[in-house]
Every structure is written in structure tokens, then in C-alpha cells.
Structure 1
Amino acid sequence: MKDDPCGTAATASDAVLADTDPDATANNTHLIDTDPDATTNDTLLADAERDVTETHALLADTDPAATTNCTLRAHSNKDDTQATDDLEHAEEKIDKRVAEITSFEELIETVGIKGRWNIMVIIVCSISGMMPAFGSLSYQFLGATPDYWCHVPDLVGANWTQEQIIALAVPLRSKHGKREGCLVHNYNYTAAALLGFNHTMSNVSAIKHSGDELIPCHSRVYNSSQYKSTIVTEWDLTCERRALYSTTQAMTHAGTLISSYCYGHIFQRLGRRKGVLISSMLTIIASFLNIAAPNIEIYIFLRFLFQSVDFGFYMGCFIIAMEVSSASQRTFVGPLFLLPWSLGYMILPGIAYLVRPWRWLLVAFSVPLLILLMYYWVLPESPRWLILHGHHKKALDMFVRAAAINRTTLPSHQAIISAMENIRHKETVCCRDNARPEFRGGLYDRVARALRNLFMLLLTPEVRVRAIIVFYIWAATTTIYYGVSLNSYNLSTNMYVYTFLGGLLEVPACLLLWCALAVLGRKRTLMLLHLVAGASIARVASVILIMPVGVKLFFSLSGKMAITAAFQLVWIYTAELFSTEYRTRAVGEANTIGRIGSIASPYINDILGEVVVWAPSAVFSLAALLASALVLILPETSNKKMTQTNNDFTLQETIEMAAA
């Protein structure tokens, strides 16, 4: 009976017992008459059957719960069917909505890749930000310049001490007791060597030549107690050869300039991931080659080569991180890239302090680059690039992996594929509408086409003014950033402490940027940061000759912190100001233009600073103030979707840009 809660078996038993066979009844009566024992047994059997009948009847009357359960089960089955129908209907609505998506941001929100997968990709990409600091900021440690003075062969041959040579031959440069390093008194040093130190010092007029009081020397002696081996001491990069020292840093930025332009096209054609892998491998090779440079000319070339390939992996990782992020996430992703750079910035002076010989220092900077090999296994391709280049199956596989890591459920694969096709179709139509006729023919036409591609942003009316402003802001920002970062010599501060503090302040600059972006947005934040930088550095120029080192350090690092935040923000702002068609090109070419300013920064510090010590700070201040004013013309992009096409620029923005 437990197997039949609805009571159907009990009812059947009752019906069988009620329809008893008459012949069987007669036989039982006969047995009662002829066999008392059998009669007793039949009586007991009849009583038992009656008990069973009564029990069945009782169960039939007293099992409403079982009946109710059966009824509830029937209703439950009906509800489950209805729920299933509702779920299928909801999924169909979701699939339909997904299939109609035409922007990548909407697709990201729908497929739900925001989660652990997204965070993992951003962290993996941000690691690339630590190593470029070693290449971009190391020249003042590789070329650390100790005290030096002119080499006087006649006096050295006469066994004069360095103190005696300096006392006679080397004039004072300033009232603070600093000696001239490139000039000597116009004396007859052969006669001085014959007379001896004491007699010569008592009658200096006897060895004076007529004519100029000071004359240049062509070789120098360096104070080996300060630095034993740097590129400056090994190749005599002072005085008339000082420009070669500045060129070692200028070529670093020239390499980045070439890298920015070339990798912009590589990332567009081959993909972000392949570009990063190519850059990583070439960077490791070029870095170790640099260690073996036999002379300054080869060293400069290898520095250029190293930086030409070095910047690619950072740029590619930055683009991937931005393109897997939603509009709200990009506010935090950009500043996140500042943290590994800051870490590398702070580690740099510590390594340089412990490892003084410049070749071994290059080894110490090269070994950490080996970590870039991990990108072969852990770095994904940008899903945005995959979609726009028709690799929908690969993009779908990536979304599936992301959903598995994030523990989310994707809409139907067919709906996602349809959305990808919509996004790509929109981009293709835009490119076809904006395409210019291709030049065909001879060399002249091919050169014209190459120049057109080079200046495509300036030739596109919708973005021309915007591009010009962005290009200047990049040039000013990079000039100020690297100029202030490497200005310790003109400020007469300890370069190890100055560089460490500069790196340390990049962390609060990142936090400052996060807070400012959340409150002020992109445009007002960038304007304010350039304004603060310009005012702080202007103060340095005004007090550099009269104030103590601590005051100069405070104002210089205040400007440094502001321009650091501005430098990080300009990456984000540029990526959001241009459509998908021009975004990679805009970031690459803006960075290219910016490097022209950074190429100038070592000459401003090393050459102009030698003439007028406050002049570099004045130049940096004026550049920052002008950039602050130009930001006012640009539109706000905070919490807005990244534009897919040039048609996404509003008419009002176009009118405002044209009027500006």
C-alpha cells in the first residue's frame, strides 16, 4: 500500500472481496458441517478477510494527504511547465536583444566578461609598466658625472698631486667654490713643471701667457672616488662632448617615437597580442646587446634600437587592458598602469646605488625583462580587435573562457555571433564611407599615399582640430615629465634621493587622479593638473638661485606629481577622444609627437641648464600653462561609450571644434 498513495489498489481489493463466488460459499458450508476443525479455520479466515476489508475501507476513507499530494504534484508539474516556458521566453528575448547589439561596450555588458577574468587580464597587462622605467630614466645613472677638471700633462709628468694641479690650473666657476671643468688658466705649464709648485705659486705672473685668461682643454680627469665607471668617464662625455651624453637619452626617446608609430600599425594589422610578443622578444635581445657596446657611437645606436622595440609591449598591453574594459572601468584601468611604472621608478635608484659600474648596471636592468616571456602563455588577444577583423569564433571562445572563469552564463552563441557581425558591419560601413580614393601609379603616387597615411588624422576634417590639440598636449606633457624627472643636476640635489622621491610620488599621483576623475571628469582634471604643474615649476625657476635645496625639492616634486597624473590621464583621454577606426593610430601618433618633446628635454636640461640654471624650469612652466588653456577646447568623455565611428561625434562637438 505504501507504493500506491492514491488508494487505487485498496479499491480493487474491496471490489474483489465484495463479489465472492457462490460456489465457494457452498463448499465452505459443507466443510463446516463435516469438519469442525476446518470450520474453525474457515471462521478465522473469514474474520481475517473481514479485517482486511475493513482496513482497506478505512485507508480509502482516511488517506486525504496522499490524495492531496497527488493533486499538488499535478499542479507542480503544471507550474514547472509554465516556468520552463517563461524561462525559454526570457532567453529568447535576451538572445534577440543580444543579436541587435551594435557596440562593443553593450556586448561586454551583456556577455558579462566583467569579473575575475577581466581583472586577471588587466593585472597581467599592467605588469608591463614596470620595465620601461629602467630604459627611460636610467641615463643619469648610466652616465653619472663625477667632479672633473682639465688634464694637464706637463704637471702630471712632473709628479704634481691633483690638489696642486687644481690649485694652479683650474679656475673657480662660482663663488661657492665649484671648480671649472672645461677651462684652464692660460699658463706656461712646462715652465711651471720646471719651477715646482711652491715657487710657481709664489710668482704666478712669471708663467702667464698673453691673450685670453682662460683656454679650453681637450681631456679631463674624473674623481674616481665618486663614480668609478660610467659612460661619461669611459668616453669623456663632458664639455665639448656633452651633447653626446644628452644624445644617449634623446635617442632613447627617438626610439620610442619610431616605436609608437610603427607599433600603431602593427597592432592594427597583426593584432595586439602578436605585437606584444614580437616586441618582448626583440627587447630582450636588444637589451643584452647594449651591454657590449665598444664605443659611444655604437652605444647610442643600440640604445635607439632597444627603445625602438621596448615600448611596443607596454603600448600593446595598455590597449588590450583598455579594450576589455567598460566605460566605467577605464577610469581605474588607466591609473592602474601607473602603479607598476612607479614601482620600477622607485626600484631604479636602488639598483643603481648598489650596482655602480655601468655595464653591470645594464645587466641588472636587463634580467627583469625575461618575465615578458610569460605573455606567450597568459596574454589574450583583444576581443574588440578579433571582432572588427572578422575572427568571431576566436572572440566567442574567449567569451566562453571568460564566462567559465567568472562563473556566469552566456546568451546563446548564435546571438553573440550575430552581435559581433553587427558591430563589424557598422565599422565596415563607416570605413567604406570615410575611405578616400587610393592612389595608383608610380613612385610619386606611392609617396603621396604614404604621406597621406602618415597625416591621416590631420587630413580628416572631423578630428583635425582635436588631433592638433592632443598632439601639442602630448608634446608638452612628455617634455615636462622627463625634464622635471631628470633635473636633479640643475637643482643640485642627490639624484638617488630625488629619483626615488619622484617615483614614490607617482603613487599618490595615481590616487589623486582616481579621485579627481570621479569628481571632475577627464577634461577639468587634465586642465587643473597642467595648471598646478605650471605654477609649481614656475616657482622653482624663481627660487632656484636663492632658496635652499629643500624648498626647490618641494616645488619641483609638486609639479612632478601633477604632471605625472596628467601624463597618465592623457593616455586615457586620447583613447576616448577618437573612434575605433582611428583610436590605435591616434594613441600611437600622439605618443610619437609627444616623444619629440621628450627628445628635447635632455638638451634643455644639460645644455640650456649649463648656460642659465633656471631656464629649463621656465620652459617647462610655460609649456604646462599653454596646455592647460588648450584643454578647454576639447569635449568631456567621462562615462561615455568609446566611439565606434567618426559619425558618433556629435554635431555640436564638431561645430565647437571647428570654431576653436
Structure 2
Amino acid sequence: MADFGEILEAIGDFGVFQKLLLFALCFPNLILPFQLASLVFNHADTNHHCNTDWILQVGPNLTREEQLNLTLPRLEDGSFDPCQMFVPVDWSLAAIREYGLNETSTCIHGWVHNDTIYEATIVTDFDLVCENVNVFRGGQTVFFAGVLVGAILFGPFAESFGRKRATQIPMVLMLIFTVVSGLSPNIYIYLVSQFITGVALGGFRINSIILATEWIGVAQRSYAACLSQVLAALGQVMFLAVVYFIRNWRIDQFIMAGPLAFVVIYIWFLPESARWLLDRGRATDAKKLIQKAAAINKHPVPQALLEEVLKEKIVEKGGVKILFASRVLRKYFFTLTFAWGAINLAYYSLSLNVGKFGPDIFLNQLIFGLSEIPVHFLCMWSLEAVGRKPSLMVALILGGSLCLLTLAVPLSDAIVSGVLATCGRFLMNAAGSICNVYFQELFPTSVRQTATGLGSTASRAASMLSPVVNMLEMYHYSIPTVLISSLAIASGIMAFLLPETRHTELPNSTEEAEGKRKPKMTRVASSEDIKGTKL
């Protein structure tokens, strides 16, 4: 029986149709990093202290330094206490100078933010300092929790309602709540909007890659995951330029909304996955899309082959039950999920320590963004030249080993340890792309999105643990490094249990995914093959 891969060979498995689709689905990845990077820049803390302008009523000619010296207590290191002030008194300036103020309290009249870097952040606008600092710290957690929920919700959603809807709805939500974030009158509306934005980001990421992958042939299948990561790295650099010149978080939110609106307009014209339509028994709709793709690629589709592929078949049902009922699929799922979780734990643990590599946050972010671009081009080459399995094993084991080597470097040598940790971080980033490709190639169409969504959920949960892991350094500086390195190396060894999927057709059924009916090795159709095809 013919399969969908043969149709792609005939109509062109990486023609104009696929390239346009790939670009349309990867373009938003230039914008998505704006949401993530805003957690670093728009949430930036400031050098703040209590508002003590009350003393200017009795001493209007006081200099700034004199005002602070008279009204603020000092910490042990000699700096002003950012969260305490001397209680205001009804004395003359002379009496205050002579006797001084002793009784302290929390900031009665709010705070003054001495920010020399940013014009406005959520910290300055909502006074997220001192007793409110926990609300500020929770903002990042709320966003990542939303990403996790998005992966949970839109995985099964895509299996039931299609890949197309599962990419369109998140983009609409992201546009709406990016604007709502910028208009937020208080921190609570901001947190709600950030949560929904996170849900949208998590849903779009996993579904857009699979929609592109299911239309692309075996030779270029890894492009969807890796190209999206390349554009994400470029997006980090673009957002850095925006924040560098416009240091007001509300304006930055509206700037983000502009390209999102463009995406929302064109995304409604994207095609559904023909594989998914066939899996759902919607052969007529799948036929129309195949013919449309063939027309755009200017390759004729053999009618006999098309009818063979479109023959009615049994639709696999059961959703997540299929995934866990199969011993083989269960093994693949837990092996990949463990690897993806270890990758995210290591990547974000290292990323959150960006400040250790130098005092200039803009320069650090620029280096991180630019240096990730060649990593994913290397990843694309490795996946096709070497294969999925060895690429994943090498990235995880070598990346974990490089991180572990930082413990052998003296603490005083920050440059060497920083280079080792950064190289380890880049390899973890590449390993994440490989896991994304592997998830699509190991599981059948009926549960491909569900498996990816659940795996992404587990990886997001691991990323949320990264701040906790970094806190373990209070017991010994080596504990976080040993933990993330050991998990990465262990997951790299476990990847030996996975099969190689390079240049194999995507499995359409559980039987194919289990290897009981080996997926067909597919080659890219040559021009002679196309010319010789008869209708």
C-alpha cells in the first residue's frame, strides 16, 4: 500500500509550497524571543530607596545626598537601606541635624527608583520592591507556568481539531494579551495577561513545527525545528536592539504586537496537515490540499498513486492511551522526555547565571544570541549527515562533560569556566532541537502532537526547577553543576535505546512506529523521476 511519503516524492517534498509554509511558520520565532527576553529586561530591578521628600518641607534647599543622609538608615556595608526609612517628625531642620532620627519603619510614602539604565519597568511602575518583591519574582514563574499549560492544552487540541487551528488560536491570543500586558493598570492584570501569553507561546511552538514537518520530505525534515531555533536566536538580537534604544517596557510590548498582528493576518491562509486529514479519515480535504501543493510546486501528481493513498483506512483512536499502551512507544516517550527535561534544566540553569559572565547585560545577551546561530546550522548538518541518535548522544554527553569540567577550573578563572559553561549551554540548545525532531519521527500521526505536547510539558516543568537547582549552591557551589551535568550525561547514555530515524518516512500508525512494519526508506525524487511520471 502506498503512503504519504510517496505523494510528497511525486509532488515535490521541498518545493515552493513547503518553503513558503516553512518560512510562514518559522517567521514568528523572530518575535517569540521578545516575550522571553522581556522577562529579563522589562522585569529588571532598580536601585531604589524610600521616598523621604517629607523633609523638603522643612529643608527645601537640601541636596540629594543631605536628604538621604538625614532620612535613611544605612546597612552594614555602608549603603542606604532600600526598604527602611526614619519615621518623619515635626521638628525643625536644625533639630533634625543636631539630634538625628532613630526610629525606623518601612517605606511610608512609597519608593524612589534611581534607574540609570531603564526609563520604566514593571518594577518601577508597580513598585515591586521590598515587601512586594515576591510578586515580582512570581511574574517569571507565572509566564513559564503558562507555557507549560499551553503545551498540555494544545497537544491534544491539535489531535482533535487539527494542526492549523492549534497554530492560529495561540497567535491570536498572543497578540491580544501582549497588548493587554502593555496596558495593564496593575500587577494582577499584568500577571494574568502574561500567563495567557505563555499559554499561547507554548501552544504555537510545538504545533507550528509539526505542521511544517508533516508537509516536508525526509531529507529536509529537520529544517523546521532547527530553522525555528536559528530565527529565535536572531530574535534575541533584534529585541536587544529594541530595548537598547527604547527602554520603556510598555512601548516595548506595543512594538512586539506589531509583527504579531502581521502573523495573525497571514496565518489564516496556511494549509492544514494532509497527514492529519488522512489520519482523521478526511480524504476529500486531503486530496484538495495535495493537488494545491502539486500545482504550486508545478509537479504533476500521479492519479493512481493519489487514489491509493486516499483509500479509506481505519482511523486510530484512543489518544494518549495509544501512547502508553504500547511498550515500545512508552520506552521511546520516557527516554526522550527524560532527555528533554535534563536539557531544559541545564540550559536554563546556565542561562539564569548570565550575570556571572560580565557586568553589561546588553553585551552578554548579544553574545548569547549571536553565538547560538551557528550551533543550529551545525545541528541541521549533523542530523542529516550523521543521524539523530549519535547527534543526540554526543550533544548530551559532551555538553554535560563540559559543564562538569568547570569544576576543575579555579574559581578565580571566570573566563575559562564561562567559556566551558557557555559551550555546554549551546550543546544543550542543539540537543533540544534534536529531541524536537525525534518526537515527530518516532510517534504515529494519531498521537504525534500529544506525545510532543506531553514531552514539552515535562521539559517546561524541568525549566521551572532551574532556579531551585541554582539555589543549592548555598550548600556547596558545585552541587548545581554536578546535578545538571550528571542528568545530561545519563540521558545521553539512555539515548542509545532509541532507533535511528534519519531518512525514514514518518510512521502513520502504531504498527509502523513499533517497527512491526518497518517505515519505508524514502529517497528524494530526482528530476528524471518527475519527468517520467505519468498521470
Contact kept, 8 Å, 1:475 with 1:597, in 2: the verdict is yes
CA distance in 2, matches of 1:314, 1:385: 18
Contact kept, 8 Å, 1:462 with 1:646, in 2: the verdict is no
- Say which of 244, 251, 254 aligns to 2:145: 254
CA offsets 1:227-251 (integer angstroms, 9 cap, x no match)? 3321122233345543322321111
| Residue aligning to 1:128 | 28
| 1:502 has 2:392 as partner | no
- Say which of 430, 440, 450 aligns to 1:585: 450
- Say which of 238, 245, 252 aligns to 1:361: 252
Q: CA deviation at 1:609?
A: 7.6
TM-score, normalised by the number of residues in structure 2 = 0.83
| Residue aligning to 2:529 | none
| Residue aligning to 2:226 | 335
Q: How does 1:309-320 map to 2 (within 5 A)?
A: 309-320=200-211
Contact kept, 8 Å, 1:530 with 1:563, in 2: the verdict is yes
Contact kept, 8 Å, 1:246 with 1:602, in 2: the verdict is no
- Cα–Cα, structure 1 residues 112 and 153, in superposed 2: closer, same or farther, change >3 Å? closer
Percentage of identical aligned residues: 24
> Higher helix fraction: Structure 1 or Structure 2?
1
CA distance in 2, matches of 1:346, 1:537: 25
CA distance in 1, matches of 2:357, 2:65: 27
Contact kept, 8 Å, 2:279 with 2:446, in 1: the verdict is no
CA distance in 1, matches of 2:206, 2:368: 22
Return 5+ residue gaps in structure 2 as ranges: 519-535
| Residue aligning to 1:145 | 45
| 1:571 has 2:471 as partner | no
| Residue aligning to 2:533 | none
| Residue aligning to 2:523 | none
CA distance in 1, matches of 2:432, 2:144: 15
Contact kept, 8 Å, 2:14 with 2:220, in 1: the verdict is no
**SS at structure 2 position matched to 1:380:** coil
Q: CA deviation at 1:113?
A: 4.3
**SS at structure 1 position matched to 2:252:** helix
CA distance in 2, matches of 1:473, 1:254: 20
CA distance in 1, matches of 2:230, 2:405: 28
CA offsets 1:338-361 (integer angstroms, 9 cap, x no match)? 222122111111111111121112
Q: How does 1:55-134 map to 2 (within 5 A)?
A: 100-101=1-2, 103-134=3-34
| 1:409 has 2:409 as partner | no
- Cα–Cα, structure 1 residues 512 and 194, in superposed 2: closer, same or farther, change >3 Å? farther
| Residue aligning to 1:624 | 488
Q: CA deviation at 1:371?
A: 1.6
- Cα–Cα, structure 1 residues 288 and 208, in superposed 2: closer, same or farther, change >3 Å? closer
* Root mean square deviation, CA, Å: 3.6
| Residue aligning to 2:309 | 419
Opposite residue 108 of structure 1, the aligned amino acid is: L
Return 5+ residue gaps in structure 1 as ranges: 1-99, 201-206, 436-452, 654-660
**SS at structure 1 position matched to 2:117:** coil
Contact kept, 8 Å, 1:506 with 1:561, in 2: the verdict is yes
CA offsets 1:264-301 (integer angstroms, 9 cap, x no match)? 12211221122222222222112111112122222111
| 1:350 has 2:255 as partner | no
| Residue aligning to 1:264 | 155
- Which structure has the larger Rg over C-alpha atoms? 1
CA distance in 2, matches of 1:334, 1:454: 23
Q: CA deviation at 1:483?
A: 3.5
- Say which of 173, 176, 182 aligns to 1:291: 182
Contact kept, 8 Å, 2:142 with 2:194, in 1: the verdict is yes
Opposite residue 326 of structure 1, the aligned amino acid is: G
Q: How does 1:127-276 map to 2 (within 5 A)?
A: 127-149=27-49, 163=65, 165=68, 169-171=73-75, 179=79, 221-276=112-167
Opposite residue 129 of structure 1, the aligned amino acid is: N
Which protein, 1 or 2, shows the higher relative CO under an 8 Å CA cutoff with sep ≥ 6?
2
| 1:470 has 2:336 as partner | yes
CA distance in 2, matches of 1:220, 1:383: 58
CA distance in 1, matches of 2:495, 2:92: 64
Opposite residue 346 of structure 1, the aligned amino acid is: V
- Cα–Cα, structure 1 residues 495 and 459, in superposed 2: closer, same or farther, change >3 Å? farther
Contact kept, 8 Å, 1:249 with 1:599, in 2: the verdict is no
Q: CA deviation at 1:130?
A: 1.7
CA distance in 1, matches of 2:326, 2:102: 68
| Residue aligning to 1:370 | 261
- Matched residues, number: 511
- Cα–Cα, structure 1 residues 372 and 197, in superposed 2: closer, same or farther, change >3 Å? same
